[in-house]
Amino acid sequence: MAFIALGINHKTASVAVRERVAFTPEQLVEALQQLCLRTASREAAILSTCNRSELYLEQDDLGVDAVLAWLADYHRLSLDDLRACAYVHQDDAAVRHMMRVASGLDSMVLGEPQILGQMKSAYAVAREAGTLGPLLGRLFQATFSTAKTVRTDTAIGENPVSVAFAAVSLAKQIFSDLHDSQALLIGAGETITLVARHLYEQGVKRIVVANRTLERASSLAEQFGAHAVLLSDIPQELVSSDIVISSTASQLPILGKGAVESALKRRKHKPIFMVDIAVPRDIEPQVGQLDDVYLYTVDDLHEVIAENLKSRQGAAQAAEELVSVGAEDFMLRLRELAAVDVLKAYRQQAERLRDEELAKAQRLLGKGASADEVLAQLARGLTNKLLHAPSVQLKKLSAEGRVDALAVAQELFALDEGVPSDKSLS
């Protein structure tokens, strides 16, 4: 058994690389099944967000090279390029890494809460794909429990900050007064929902939500008195939009240089502030070359985020300690579970021997034998049979000079007398 956490994130790879390694929701089930078929992985889950793509695996052996090769092949990447920015955590380190990720300790925004929901989604998709077994399943449950403890027992989640919050904070720096600004939000997922909430709380009254399906856009728009449109309506909405924030799961850019250039002309070059939170990117990078456009990606939000994190730094150490305790406790319980099968087999063997001796005693009683003699014989027979296999094995180990194994037997059977020294066996 070996746990592996393998992937790339915002610390090791640029957004240009991360968007190439990202998995769309539609790809995940097939990718998981393919991963288990082509590697030594018996259990697998994939976490793919704008800041990271990680594989969580359980294997008989550490077939890391095969997993990296599969990942590179799946995304049509050079294996050397992927290896240069990938990281691998194994066993205890993999468990601790998963718990740190779920607790928001490895996020761009320290303590951000969205990652736990994304981790739970990865768990659910793996179950749907049939690639989540008992070991990885237990690890996920322990991870969720530890993350909940971190949230409850530390201040890591106080003073809310997120990529969405950072985007709105940056908008406040560009526009001194957001009340008179119109915001165009592209997408209708969790991140855009947070953006809409932050904008609404900052006094932005004119919000437009553009999405591939009008129903989803309308559902979000209703919460904040916003207007819902389709993606095809974006060019005309750009003309009156001062703030554009995009976060979809599209594999191709939604907003190109031509559409923005045309909108700027109609706006008489009134500036537009844009934040592309999506990976892969929703807004063509060339848009940033236009005058009067302030375009930022998730990687550009580091400075804004850092300023909002100061209040959480003190809680990080306490959170790290809770994660360490959670990881150690999980591995301890997992090792205890490894003994269950052995104990079960030993109990079954003992019960079989007991039943054999009991049946023999009942036959003797049926023939009129003395109860005292039958009980004595039952006790002797059961004792001899229970001790036979351990006695044979201990004599063999002693003959081989295996003092270490004899010491284990001493501890296993809770014996008081010492184990012979090396000299006594020579």
186 is in an annotated binding site: no
187 is in an annotated binding site: yes
β-strands 52-59, 41-48: how paired? antiparallel
414 is in an annotated binding site: no
Non-local CB neighbours of 246 within 8 Å, separated by 6+ positions: 185, 186, 187, 254, 255, 274, 275, 276, 277, 278, 282, 283
146 is in an annotated binding site: no
Asked if 186 and 249 touch (Cβ cutoff 8 Å), the reply is no
Residues in the chain: 426
190 is in an annotated binding site: yes
Strand order in the sheet with 272-276: 227-230, 206-211, 182-186, 243-246, 272-276, 293-297
Catalytic residue of the set 5, 50, 167, 244: 50
107 is in an annotated binding site: yes
Residue 309 one-letter amino acid: L
63 is in an annotated binding site: no
113 is in an annotated binding site: yes
β-strands 182-186, 41-48: how paired? unpaired
Closest CA to 183 of 15, 172, 283: 172
189 is in an annotated binding site: yes
Q: Write the secondary structure of 120-132 as one string of H (helix), E (strand) and C (coil).
A: HHHHHHHHHHCCC
244 phi-psi bin (left φ>0, alpha ψ -120 to 50, beta other): beta
50 is an active site residue: yes
118 is in an annotated binding site: yes
Annotated binding site: 49-52, 107, 112-114, 118, 187-192
Annotated binding site for NADP(+): 187-192
Active site (catalytic) residues = 50
Annotated binding site for substrate: 49-52, 107, 112-114, 118
